[in-house]
Chains A and B, each alone.
Chain A
Amino acid sequence: MALRPVSAAEIESLAIGAWILGTGGGGSPYLALLNMRKLYREGVVCSLLDPMDLADDARVAVVSNMGAPLVGQERLTDPQTIARAVRMMEEYRGSRFDAIMSLEIGGGNSLQPFMAAAVLGLPVVDADCMGRAFPEAQMTSFAIHDLTMYPLTLADVRDNAVVVARAASWKWMERLSRKACVEVGSIASTCKAPRTGKEVKECAILYSTSKAIRLGQTVQDAQRRHQDPVHALVDAERGRLLFRGKIRDVARRTTEGFLRGTAKLDGLDDYRGSSFELAFQNEFAVGWLDGRPRVMTPDLICVLDSVSGDAIGTETLRYGQRVSVIALPAPPVLLTPKGLEHVGPRAFGYDLEFKSVFA
């Protein structure tokens, strides 16, 4: 198996890149990064596994932290909790895992498999099943491929453990696990339905971990050279710069467990005289240039600090920030008709026909 060690510097880059791939959501990787720094100081080195080197019958754990980012700011994430969810699944199924992967490469969940791997001594698979961040459980490449959604194990910091043995659909899995999550304080570590090596190779979004590391490195390199990190990122990732401007207005509301709202931008530089509006549900979903739809999910809509290139989350947008809006290409599986049913603009309640900025 092609395993390679991941350096402490790469973990730093991963946190920066994953926050960009979070497309505004996914929660800041900051607290998970603090955990990883501590683990690396203690001598841990995680290793990254090429997914194509997984045996067809390899057993892969899919992990994520579930709950409200706000609660996560008080109930600080701990490697032991995510490791417990993985162990619980091993006990429930009566078999050991060979590797761990992330549910969601965007935001804090990019580092959860590394935290679990550090405790359990397992490799991390270079893949996830979103290629970005999304708010709901059925918005994954595994769901698009109609893989089974159960069982699921859920661990709390106290001695509470929940197994969702079966669920009638992805939506039911979301409802049942969400209920348990809210009961234990709206934050829980979960191990999702285990995957075989074959399923990962065929249905996961491959090499998204190394992509996040690369994104972070691109931004860091540009920062070090005092070059424009936004342009560097757009060039390196074949993205599109959609707008540069200043945030004029932000409206946010928390409904049904989601952070929804809009942000309005006034143009600067080449975009002076134009305006841009962004709508978000945890993540940025649609962007309008001068009132016309310009970009929409599942294309990745990333809002970056125009100077530093660091990502800005939907919860940290504020008046006066100078930002650049860029689009990055979505994983192809999300662009299929089936994929668009799960994660296209209509899945978020926008009556828009999907049109990619890269089409």
Chain B
Amino acid sequence: MKRRIGIDVGGTNTDAVYLEDTRVVHAVKTPTTRDVTSGVTDALRKLLQAGAPKTVDAVMIGTTHFTNAVVQRRDLTRVAAIRIGLPSGASLPPFIDWSEDLAALVRGEVVMLEGGHEFDGRPLVPLDTAGVRAAARRIRAAGLMSVGVASVFSPLNAACELEAAAILREECPDVAVTLSHQLGRIGLLERENAALLNAALVGLARTTTRAFTDALAASGITAPLYLTQNDGAVMLASVAEAFPVYGFASGPTNSMRGAAFLSKLTDALVIDVGGTTTDIGSLRHGFPREANNVVEIGGVRTLFRMPDLLSIGLGGGSLVARAPLTVGPRSVGYRLVEEGLVFGGGALTAPTSQWPRASSISATDGVSRRCRPSS
């Protein structure tokens, strides 16, 4: 018998289940906490209290943390972009099609250097190694901690990216390096975007996966820790730490796989109303239908293999601003219980279906205070 613990850390709630093979034996729900660790620790404690064993085959965690960071422009690391491919592509530098607010948060150094390959494997021009070294020194001087490297046709020949990484390790060994060929396919801008997003998230990924590891240790549970990936498969926590974008869409994937599991339906539309976003996806043969072309994340074009999803920055915790009147995309997230007006806090959040007189909320706060979401 396979014994597994599955945890879904949403922006608002943390859900944990204990499974014996395909049977859900225990299920608990706790609010997500700012430090993540205590929320997961709480969930695990509740699960153990409910009767789950401390020795299991695996613990799997899915989280919307990374996608929420980009959607809400929070907890992002400023990165250096190194593009290798001049004299090709000079007119379209890294970050070219990013929304300006996101680019302003993420863009540190932008360096374009000679190098790259042809589609048949020949070098485009020799790699400017002196340029890479000079860039590495500037990155160190600027105090940047994360770098994204993209070279022309690197999915076919990664030599330039690998050589740049080796030089970066020599010159600034503490800097995290994301290489585009490890993340994407043909399509330089989209692959570079993936590398830059990943680079912007590695700081958050490190704290988050370590928080998960700590929570597990604190609960006395011994089992390998996995994080779920965009396509519904899992990866070791150490992989997730280096490649947070692999788990980018794991939140909706988890809920879609979960919906298939619980409903026993294999072909259905799944609408997941979370605290921060509402995601609509389509199940086919029990798995999310994948978008096999361009996927935009927080306004950035990528080519990830991801569920074909309509994601709206609107959930139960979305903040309502009055002038001008907007709802979301910022959310009180896990602070819903402390800050949400419906729970007696001060923040006006988006109506949920549990609010019978949602339309009157902006007029009379008293109405909304009497209503409580049921979950």
Q: Point out the residues of chain A lying under 8 angstroms from B88, CB to CB.
A: 74-76, 78, 157
B152 touches A38 (CB 8 A): no
Binding site for B on A (CB under 8 A): 31, 34-35, 38, 68, 70-71, 73-80, 157-158, 185-186, 316, 318, 320
A76 touches B89 (CB 8 A): yes
Min distance, Cβ A72 to any Cβ of chain B, angstroms: 10
B186 touches A35 (CB 8 A): no
Min distance, Cβ B330 to any Cβ of chain A, angstroms: 27
A185 touches B124 (CB 8 A): yes
Q: Please report the C-alpha to C-alpha distance between residue A8 and residue B272 in the assembled complex, in whole angstroms.
A: 38
Min distance, Cβ A250 to any Cβ of chain B, angstroms: 11
Q: Point out the residues of chain A lying under 8 angstroms from B122, CB to CB.
A: 185
For B114, give the chain A residue with the smallest CB separation: A158
Q: Within the complex, which residue of A31, A76, A318 is in contact with B293, where a contact is CB–CB below 8 Å?
A: A318
Q: Please report the C-alpha to C-alpha distance between residue A31 and residue B289 in the assembled complex, in whole angstroms.
A: 27
- Listed by A's residue number, 6 A-B pairs whose Cβ atoms lie within 8 Å are A38-B92, A70-B186, A73-B186, A74-B88, A74-B119, A185-B118
B187 touches A73 (CB 8 A): yes
Q: Point out the residues of chain B lying under 8 angstroms from A70, CB to CB.
A: 119, 186
For A39, give the chain B residue with the smallest CB separation: B91
Q: Please report the C-alpha to C-alpha distance between residue A77 and residue B188 in the assembled complex, in whole angstroms.
A: 12
Q: Please report the C-alpha to C-alpha distance between residue A80 and residue B86 in the assembled complex, in whole angstroms.
A: 13
Does any Cβ of A come within 8 Å of B97's Cβ? yes
A76 touches B119 (CB 8 A): no
Q: Please report the C-alpha to C-alpha distance between residue A316 and residue B187 in the assembled complex, in whole angstroms.
A: 13
For chain B, which range describes its interface: under 10, 10 to 19, 20 to 34, or 35 or more residues? 20 to 34
Min distance, Cβ A249 to any Cβ of chain B, angstroms: 15
B188 touches A73 (CB 8 A): yes
Of all A-B residue pairs in the complex, the 8 with the closest CB atoms, nearest first, are: A76-B89, A78-B91, A185-B118, A157-B87, A75-B88, A157-B88, A73-B187, A74-B188
For B97, give the chain A residue with the smallest CB separation: A34
Q: A68-B119, A73-B186, A74-B187 are in contact. Are A35 and B92 (CB under 8 A)?
A: yes
Q: Please report the C-alpha to C-alpha distance between residue A31 and residue B97 in the assembled complex, in whole angstroms.
A: 10
A75 touches B89 (CB 8 A): yes
B292 touches A38 (CB 8 A): no
Most buried by A among B119, B120, B153, B289: B119
Q: Please report the C-alpha to C-alpha distance between residue A38 and residue B188 in the assembled complex, in whole angstroms.
A: 18
Binding site for A on B (CB under 8 A): 85, 87-92, 96-97, 118-120, 122, 124-125, 152-153, 186-189, 289, 292-293
* Further 16 A-B residue pairs, CB within 8 A, beyond A75-B85, A77-B91: A34-B96, A38-B92, A74-B85, A74-B88, A74-B153, A74-B186, A75-B88, A75-B89, A75-B152, A78-B88, A78-B89, A78-B90, A80-B90, A158-B87, A158-B125, A185-B120
Q: Point out the residues of chain A lying under 8 angstroms from B152, CB to CB.
A: 74-75
For A31, give the chain B residue with the smallest CB separation: B92
Q: Point out the residues of chain A lying under 8 angstroms from B189, CB to CB.
A: 31, 76
Q: Please report the C-alpha to C-alpha distance between residue A250 and residue B89 in the assembled complex, in whole angstroms.
A: 32
Q: Please report the C-alpha to C-alpha distance between residue A74 and residue B191 in the assembled complex, in whole angstroms.
A: 10
Min distance, Cβ A343 to any Cβ of chain B, angstroms: 29
Q: Please report the C-alpha to C-alpha distance between residue A318 and residue B87 in the assembled complex, in whole angstroms.
A: 34
Min distance, Cβ B13 to any Cβ of chain A, angstroms: 32
B91 touches A38 (CB 8 A): yes
A35 touches B188 (CB 8 A): no
Min distance, Cβ B280 to any Cβ of chain A, angstroms: 14
Q: Please report the C-alpha to C-alpha distance between residue A158 and residue B152 in the assembled complex, in whole angstroms.
A: 14
For B154, give the chain A residue with the smallest CB separation: A74
Q: Please report the C-alpha to C-alpha distance between residue A31 and residue B120 in the assembled complex, in whole angstroms.
A: 22
Q: Point out the residues of chain B lying under 8 angstroms from A320, CB to CB.
A: 289
For B96, give the chain A residue with the smallest CB separation: A34
Q: Please report the C-alpha to C-alpha distance between residue A73 and residue B188 in the assembled complex, in whole angstroms.
A: 6
Q: Point out the residues of chain B lying under 8 angstroms from A35, CB to CB.
A: 91-92
A79 touches B289 (CB 8 A): no
Min distance, Cβ B305 to any Cβ of chain A, angstroms: 13
B119 touches A34 (CB 8 A): no
Min distance, Cβ B322 to any Cβ of chain A, angstroms: 27
Q: Point out the residues of chain A lying under 8 angstroms from B87, CB to CB.
A: 157-158
Q: Please report the C-alpha to C-alpha distance between residue A186 and residue B122 in the assembled complex, in whole angstroms.
A: 12
Q: Point out the residues of chain A lying under 8 angstroms from B124, CB to CB.
A: 75, 158, 185
Q: Please report the C-alpha to C-alpha distance between residue A320 and residue B91 in the assembled complex, in whole angstroms.
A: 36
